Chain A
Amino acid sequence: MKLNKFKSSEITPENFYINRRKFLKKMGIVTGTAFASQNIITSALSYTPETERKITPYKFATTYNNYYEFGTSKSDPHKNSKDFITKPWDIKIDGEVENEITLSVEEIKNMIPSEERIYRFRCVEGWSMVVPWLGFPLNKLLNKVKPTSKAKFVKFTSVYDPDQMKGQRFPVLNWPYKEGLRIDEAMHPLTIMVTGLYGKELPNQNGAPLRLIVPWKYGFKSAKAIVNIKFVEKMPVSSWMNASPNEYGFYSNVNPNVSHPRWSQATERVIGENIYSPRIKTVMFNGYGDEVAGLYDGMDLRKNF
């Protein structure tokens, strides 16, 4: 890590964090990290661990965010989300299910332990990070309900609260933010609900109290501050599909071969690198092809972008 550009007071927690990670890697285990009132799981890695790329400095992962509910500039979410209230917070799981339920975030956290997942995060704008998330597979939450035979997709709705989220006072997107996955994508073990990052509680600007992370898709698929998960029959129309259907498809899998009208997706810039660092090559499914390529067998990914 090149840390010389930070004051020592800023780097201490992260430095400690990275050293701890190195130690754990040597031991061959990765564990979740303790924070207030949260169950912790200790288990071997159940996914492709990140070994090639460096973890993004905490400072950038928490100050360089796209979260239009708090403003359209990358620095807005950090600035404008400080007083955002995330307690109490309920999540309703309903739609094509036999038993719809409403759970508080506290209940969910107590019920399902979080573990650490170090994932690549690739934004459709052509930049990427590596973030150590804390979370649990979404399927553990979805298994609390019984979908009916009609259910084909899962629709995620983020919170609508223009009093607290000043970005929502402008029609930048059709609020509230909506996203969707096919059921098999949602049930995939790599798809997680995130409760924290870098061993800490999830900051507001990163989507507190509970957000989605789907590491093989562009970042905007990973909805933040979720209040509703709905099983549906028809493919949901996401907020970005609604805003610009020829630019943002339903699948939005990371794919270097399918170019966005404004950004080539062949390469990406690594967040936290200096100005002289070259772009790196973008990898199909963001490097998770071994795990997820099977979901799209026989599909034309150029058409289903």
Chain B
Amino acid sequence: MIRIFKPTIFVLCLIPFIIIAYQILFNQLGAEPVKQVTHHTGEWTLRFILLSLAMTPLKNVTKILAWIKYRRMLGLFAFFYGTLHLLTYIGFDYQFNFDPIIDDVLNKKFIFIGFAAWLLMLPLAITSNQKMVLILKQNWKKIHRLSYLIGIFAVLHFIWLSKTIFFEPLIYLIILITLLTLRLDFIKFIFKKKSVT
């Protein structure tokens, strides 16, 4: 099953990239092209972050182990789209003009936290292969708990850039809180079990 599912999901995860690449190549980006690419890649980064965070709770709730096999791939796609998002901002929006970018990172809290989220994704992407799991052993899990912080940063990034209280960032916030709560309950559950035995 995994053999068929995994490549299928890989291709599905590429669809947002194919869409935006098509729009760039064929000039289909509308009135404000840079913003369109920035929003598209940013939205998909957030979606993949939340999807990757959803795999463990899904495993716990459904008691099906297979979910875990997609966690790494979804996380790497989050990194992929996050990097495209960052490159759009640096390359297309500011044309590699670093003065205003540094100014933004230091002075605009939504850009600061967005950039921080991307930086936190770096060690996770670097240590994502099987070799690293074996090398890092216990520490691997600790490092990869950063994914929750990345989720919080990414949602804050979206909330802070919104002009007023909008529907969309709130949806992401609710999903994030739900996922975090599910994790907390599970940890508590494990903890209780241990203390009993």
Contacts and interface: CB of A to CB of B under 8 A. Distances in A.
A291 to B, nearest CB: 28
Given A262-B110, A264-B103, A63 B31 contact: yes
B49 to A, nearest CB: 22
A87 to B, nearest CB: 29
A73 to B, nearest CB: 10
A114 B34 CA distance: 36
Interface of A: 5, 60, 63-64, 72, 74, 125, 127, 170, 172-173, 243-244, 259, 261-264, 266-267, 269, 271-276, 278-279
- Interface footprint category on B: 20 to 34
A60 B37 contact: no
A267 B164 CA distance: 23
A79 to B, nearest CB: 14
Contacts of A259: 107
A63 to B, nearest CB: 7
A243 B165 CA distance: 10
Interface of B: 24, 27, 29-35, 37, 92-95, 100, 103-104, 107-110, 160-161, 163-167
A239 to B, nearest CB: 10
Nearest to B29: A275
A271 B31 contact: yes
A5 B27 CA distance: 7
A244 B47 CA distance: 28
Nearest to A267: B100
Contacts of B165: 172
B27 A274 contact: yes
A264 B104 contact: yes
A244 B164 contact: yes
What are the 8 A-B residue pairs with the smallest beta carbon separation, nearest first? A64-B31, A275-B33, A60-B31, A271-B31, A5-B27, A278-B95, A172-B164, A243-B164
A194 B31 CA distance: 23
A211 B8 CA distance: 52
B94 A275 contact: no
B91 to A, nearest CB: 10
Interface hub of B24, B32, B95, B107 (most chain A Cβ within 10 A):
B32
Contacts of A266: 100
B46 to A, nearest CB: 17
A74 B34 contact: no
A271 B32 contact: yes
A269 B34 contact: yes
B92 A275 contact: yes
Given A259-B107, A264-B103, A264-B104, A279 B160 contact: no
B104 A274 contact: no
Contact of A173 (B104, B107, B164): B164
Nearest to A5: B27
B192 to A, nearest CB: 42
A278 B96 CA distance: 10
B108 A72 contact: no
Contacts of B167: 72, 170
Contacts of B100: 264, 266-267
A288 to B, nearest CB: 23
